[in-house]
Amino acid sequence: MRRTLLLLAGFFLLVSSTVAWACPACKEALFDPSQLRQTLATAKGYAMSIGLLLSVPAILVGGVAALILRAARHRRRTIDTAKVPR
């Protein structure tokens, strides 16, 4: 079963390798001066993708920090209410 999965994964990588050439780092399209409008749109797309790639880790770390803070506050409230005599 494991060998079959490895063969399928290898086949998938070989078949989809043409898609891998269309990465966002290739900037050959930006050097054609006759297509200024398309060049500017491509540059804006690169800038937006870089911004997205940089913001995702910050959002994830912030979300985990918020969950930890929320759990700590909830734990503190439950401990404080348990200590109050009735």
State how many domains the chain has: 1
Residue 8 lies in a domain: no
pTM over 0.75: no
Q: How far apart are CA 32 and CA 37, in angstroms?
A: 11
- Distance from CA of residue 60 to its chain's centroid? 9
Residue 63 lies in a domain: yes
Residue 47 lies in a domain: yes
> Phi and psi dihedrals of 52, rounded to 5?
-65, -45
The range of the structural domain enclosing residue 61 comes to 24-83
Q: What is the pLDDT of residues 6-43, one digit of tens each?
A: 888 888 777 765 555 555 555 565 566 677 777 778 77
Q: What is the pLDDT of residue 67?
A: 96
Q: What is the pLDDT of residues 69-86, one digit of tens each?
A: 999 999 988 887 777 665
